[in-house]
Amino acid sequence: MLNRLLPILIVNLIVISGYANNECNTLPECQQLRTQLVNSLAAVDARIQVLQPSPQFGNIVTTGDLNNKYYIMTQAEAIRYCKDSKKVQQPAHLPSARELAQFASRQCTFDILGKEPCGAAGISETMKEGYSLVHAKNADGKVDSFYFSYAGYNRPFGIFNYPAIWSSSGYVFNPEFQPFRFNGKLGEIEYIDDFKSIYGIVLCVLGQ
């Protein structure tokens, strides 16, 4: 993906550097310069969203018995479950906050409308009106910050109304005690406190 992004980033960085070398001496000039810079960054941001691969999710984890109820567990249990290839039957991991945001942001189609989350305004790499900062630290220790809006989110029927769907990410300043989760009822990506006594449902990202 980096190879595909590099030409776009180079072009926009050249444009930005060109603007940066120009001084603005009046308020209108500075406002115009700011608009040009914002538009250039927005073009990169939009291209990133197009090129970013979509995670492939498995089915919601169930108990597997006659009742076949949805299996609820703590975040730590969910991370271990998705890593267990014997249970998942292929390489997998518990989704990051970004991956759950991508999940909620998929285009609504006839096949998924009403069955799975879709339609959220989605992810932005830069600050936008109506978008909230998700400042996350992932299970691999990498910090991942982005802006997310659930405006336009379509709530599906059934289990995704359950308000706690685990991510493997935590709030960057306190990741072990403030994990992020996806609120399937509202479409929000939120972090919670006192999580060790809280249970949620589990989806694994497959093939990774």
Q: What is the pLDDT of residues 22-59, one digit of tens each?
A: 678 888 888 788 777 777 766 666 566 555 667 788 77
- Residue 13: the pLDDT is 46
- Residue 142: the pLDDT is 93
Longest dimension (CA), the chain: 74
Tokens describing residue 76: 């730590």
* CA pair distance 200, 117, nearest whole angstrom: 17
* CA pair distance 74, 176, nearest whole angstrom: 12
Percent of the chain surpassing pLDDT 90: 28
pTM value is: 0.73
- Residue 169 confidence (pLDDT) above 90: yes
Q: What is the mean pLDDT of the chain?
A: 79
- Residue 47: the pLDDT is 60
